[in-house]
Chain A
Amino acid sequence: MTLPRPATPLHDRPAPRRWTQIDPILLIVTLLLIGYGLVMTYSTTAETRTFTGDPMQFVIRGAIWAAVGMAAMAAIALFDYAWLGAFAPLLYVFMLGLLSVVLAIGSSSLGAQRSVNIGGLSFQFSEVAKVLMIIVLAKFFADRRASIGSPLTMLLGLALLAPAVLLVYRQPDLGTSLVFIAIFFGIAFLAGARIWQLVALVAIAAASFPLVWALLKDYQRARLSAFLDPYSDPQGAGWNIIQSLIAVGSGGATGKGLTAGTQSPLGYLPIAESDFVFSGLAEDLGFAGAVILFALYIVLLVAALRVALRAKDPFGMLIGGGVATMLVFQILVNVGMAISLMPVTGIPLPFISHGGSSLVSVCFALGVLQSVSMRREPEGP
């Protein structure tokens, strides 16, 4: 039996674009989440505004990034995602190049070298690198459906993944390197990889934990210990966790109201507009605000998975799976960190964390999804 040759726009007529097949639910929930994010930026930067004079500067900046993100989403949706597949090797090299640039000339903040300044704006290249990795891995596994069960395929996939993970880890950004690993597992799982192989990988990772522990930086070890027992060092590594729990818990059922929270404006909650934004959200808007956010996320994820399910080829399907994996992993880690279910790592909460690179990258990813959606086979009669 011959498998159908993987579609490439170089050989085939481009798949027809069908505007009617834009996923409306995905689009609407995306816009709602961007709006929610701007509201939270407004709320968590209320105190900063009074110090810096320009009352709306963070919100305006957020809105500009949202506009850029939506433009990127629209632009990428116009292109046939098959082109992305065709140029996957190039994208891969480009991605590694970006991550190397960060290490070479990146500017430091809070002890980590994560962003690059261009024309006064700072870019976190690792955010867009995540999306590129999704495309590369989706393409890799889509092209190897026949040999998906072979350990060699798995090892080759890991070989693709490893340089990116190491480059991000060197920044150091343990959280984002974990996102890369999660994307790998998500795509491999949906591509049909042998479960035992995936389990074996997890087992190897667990077994090598002592080695990893030795390689961790001191602050990372402190964060892990603090996660297990925040009160062992309440003024130090445990501080963020304790203050975040206080912020979340003090929100109660309906929250203290927008900008009325005290934990973040008074500085008890560190990095309240990005890493710990969920704590600020839970404090200001309470359990209700958090549940609304979760509901939007679930709709987004279901919509993304639906696009994946209906994709016309494995590449499209795996892109959808990869994007869903990235989103759910970031949500789990960021929210889990805020409520002390996960150790502290600096992973942004999609749409809600204030930060252009993260927002534009997520929009870019969703634009690719829309491209997949628009080029699927039309619904049966």
Chain B
Amino acid sequence: MNLVLHVWRQASPTVKGGFVRYEARDISEHASFLEMLDIVNEHLTERGEEPIAFEHDCREGICGSCGLVINGVPHGPQHGAATCQLHMRHYKDGDQVWIEPWRAKAFPVMKDLVVDRGAMDRIMQTGGYISARTGAVPDANATPIRKEYADLAMDAAACIGCGACVAACPNASPMLFVAAKVSHLGLLPQGQPERRDRVLNMVAQMDAEGFGSCTNHAECEAVCPKQISIDFIARLNRDLFAASLAQTPERMVAGAG
């Protein structure tokens, strides 16, 4: 099939970007979307032009590197899959395809379709973990965990940190990402000692990074490649409310003292 692409090109974070038209010719329906871009890039290189920069790595839908807004939808038309899992059989000859990077203030464009998602790492660094020093732990079966909770924790833990939730949200809120981690760890007995600090600190960092807040549009759930439920956002809000009623987080107090 032949397609017409309109691709966002931006040379660097500081210059203005814009759409550039390309033709993708003789694309097999079995090729993946990223392979289609590879083909376009090979042609660009042969013509001596700079290829389109886009992020990708495992190409198996698990590393979370890739992420394109395709015709206005993060990760494109296929439900519950990352961009790399999208194949060209979803398109037909002559289609026009608009390809953009994630758009959010907290995700500055680095080049073309690549954005800086460092803010998500920084949120994790404020509390997205259980402090369990290497070696200082009990036997793995010492604490039985109700299967139902373990399974639910796994549902939340499936997040690949791609940032599509942010790209889809009218407020550019990463609430689904934060909620997934807060819920994963908060559902487990090991996660209880730090539960309160975790939610307060992660949400504080989320605000500090310039992300918006959740106002229940549920666009995030619709585009999440791992189909993570917004029920976890409700869980986060409950934790956040309960933690806000209690005193200031211990770690913040210790840091200030």
Question: Are A and B co-members of a single complex?
Answer: no
